[in-house]
Amino acid sequence: MKVLMINRATVFTVPGGDTVQMVETAKAIRKHGINVDIRLANEEIDYEGYDLIHFFNIIRPNSISRHVKKSKLPFVISTIFVDYTEIDRKLGGVMLRTASQLLGSDWLEYLKVIGRSFLNGDKIIDNSYIFRGHKRSVEQLLNSASLLLPNSDNEFKRLSKRYRFKSEYLKVPNAVSEEFLETNPNNNKSGIVMVARIEALKNQLNLIEAMKGLNTTLKIVGKPAPNHMDYYQKCIEQAPSNVEFLGQLDRREVIAQLDAAKVHVLPSWFETTGLSTLEAAARNCNVVITRKGDTQEYFGDKARYCEPGDPESIKSALVKALEDKSELKDFIKEHYTWGKAAEKTIEGYQHVLKQKSGYNLHKNG
């Protein structure tokens, strides 16, 4: 079997959870003898020899539709359906808030795509997106996909509530790499760490407010997103002395920070999973995470939850998590490894190719 993975053009220059999910899934799938190539949505691609395409990010249909039409191959989508509605309406500028309230979420996403094409050079790859609009583009892909691969059942329910489609789905939970599951010798953990891009969605400003008056430290790991430099500057200006910005770190350095910290916090306005929270839990951190999104399906009663718009809620969850016993590592190892995610993904691939009557599967080599 030979699989082509395609993701947004900025997946490596502006990395996020989808970057980790794609790279680690590919790595784990290759261990099963399946050939996987990774390409960017803005590249010219020769589709010859591939059995199917695996796309990521349904909220970026412009990165998908052209390749669907040109390749004529069966395809699956890791939907990674993030809902920006609340943050746009609460934290956006006057124009953004007004547009969100008057036009709705899909129209706003459409305007963002147009804006990124002018401001960031994030080109519109399929011109039909301009005429079709965001919602119709998403629904067309959802209906023509051979299989959807959401990270949770709740993600699929949210997707079904927003859009009209009939495609099947197979849940493929997010996971942690083997490096995060290695033995952590440090039993003297203290303080708080947050690993995430610095941007309004991740909510560092309210976290910084929650840290005021707490007798512990917070280390923020990550770089600001390209369009959020003003937000980053506000974070720096408002941070008290117990908050430190460490910038972007490599994986080994991130693991070292997680090994030192008692608590990892991710008080985002929305998370499908919170990959950095899974990784922190694997390093035996207690975790504080947002209620918004699909996080409770992953962590159940093993996390402290907070309301992102309420700094006192964040502070209360942090105080409790600092006192909790750390016991998440075994839970993560049992349920959330990329090996398990790869097995579910391959199950999806095999299901799709089996359904294609008369389809000649390309052999390895």
- Amino acid of residue 186: N
pLDDT given for residue 88 in this prediction: 66
pLDDT given for residue 105 in this prediction: 81
Q: Which CATH architecture has domain 2-175+337-355?
A: 3-Layer(aba) Sandwich (3.40)
Q: For the whole model, what pTM was predicted? A: 0.87
Around Cβ 215, how many Cβ atoms within 10 Å? Answer: 7
What lies within 8 Å, CB to CB, of 65 at 6+ separation is: 126, 128, 129, 137, 140, 141
pLDDT, tens digit only, all 365 positions of the chain: 999 999 999 899 888 889 999 999 999 999 999 999 999 999 999 999 999 999 999 999 999 999 999 999 999 999 999 887 776 666 666 566 666 566 678 877 887 787 777 766 677 888 888 889 999 999 999 999 999 999 999 999 999 999 999 999 999 999 999 999 987 767 789 999 999 999 999 999 999 999 999 999 999 999 998 888 999 999 999 999 999 999 999 999 999 999 999 999 999 999 999 999 999 999 999 999 999 999 999 999 999 999 999 999 999 999 999 999 888 889 999 999 999 999 999 999 999 999 875 554 444 33
pLDDT given for residue 97 in this prediction: 62
Q: What angle do CA 123, 129, 131 make, to 5 degrees?
A: 125
CA distance 137 to 179: 38
CA distance 126 to 132: 10
Q: Which CATH architecture has domain 179-334?
A: 3-Layer(aba) Sandwich (3.40)
pLDDT given for residue 365 in this prediction: 31
3-state SS, residue 5: strand
pLDDT given for residue 101 in this prediction: 65
Does residue 216 contact residue 192 with C-beta atoms inside 8 Å? yes
Question: Which ranges in the chain are annotated with CATH 3.40.50.2000?
Answer: 2-175+337-355, 179-334
What lies within 8 Å, CB to CB, of 67 at 6+ separation is: 6, 41, 45, 47, 53, 55
